[in-house]
Amino acid sequence: MYGIEELKRATGYTDSQVRDRLALLSPIFAEDIHRGSRGKILVGDKILAALRRMAELESQGLSPKVAQSQIIQELGNGDGKRETTFGEPWQRLLEEKDKRIAQLEEEIAFLRERIIFLESQVQLALPAPRRRRWWWPWRKAEG
C-alpha cells in the first residue's frame, strides 16, 4: 500500500494534485483505495499504475479529465470489440436500475387502474344527490 508521499515521489505531483487525481480515479478503482490509521489515504498497485499513466498523459498536454477518459478507454481495451472490464459492475447497476424503473412503472399503471375502479365503486355506493324543490315559486318583483 502506498501513501500520499509515495505517490507524490512516483508521479511528481503535489499533494493537492495527487488528491485531485485520486478523486478522479476513485470511481474506477474504488476497491483499491483504503483509509489507514488516523485517516491516512492508502492505495494499491492499480492506482499507482493509473496515476503514473495519468502523469504521462498530462505531460503530453492532456487535461486530467481527458487523461482519465483515456485511462478508462485503455482499461477497457478501447478497441470497441468488447465491454470494459471495470464497467461491468456499473453496467449491471444500470440494468438493475432500468429493471426497477420498469417494475415501478408497471406498479403505477396498476395503481392508476385500481384508483379508477375504486372511484367508480364509491360512486355506485353513494346515494344519488337530492334535488331540492322549492315550494314557493319565485316571482319577479312588480314595479
Q: Spell out the CATH class of 4-82.
A: mainly alpha
Quick: pLDDT tens for 29-82: 777 788 888 888 888 888 888 888 889 899 999 898 888 888 887 776 444 444
| pTM for this model (two decimals) | 0.52
Alpha helices in the chain (DSSP H): 4-11, 15-25, 45-59, 64-75, 87-125
Quick: pLDDT tens for 80-121: 444 445 555 667 777 888 999 999 999 999 999 999 999 999
SS3 2: strand
All structural domains of the chain with their residue ranges: 4-82, 86-126
The answer to whether 64 touches 24, Cβ cutoff 8 Å, is yes
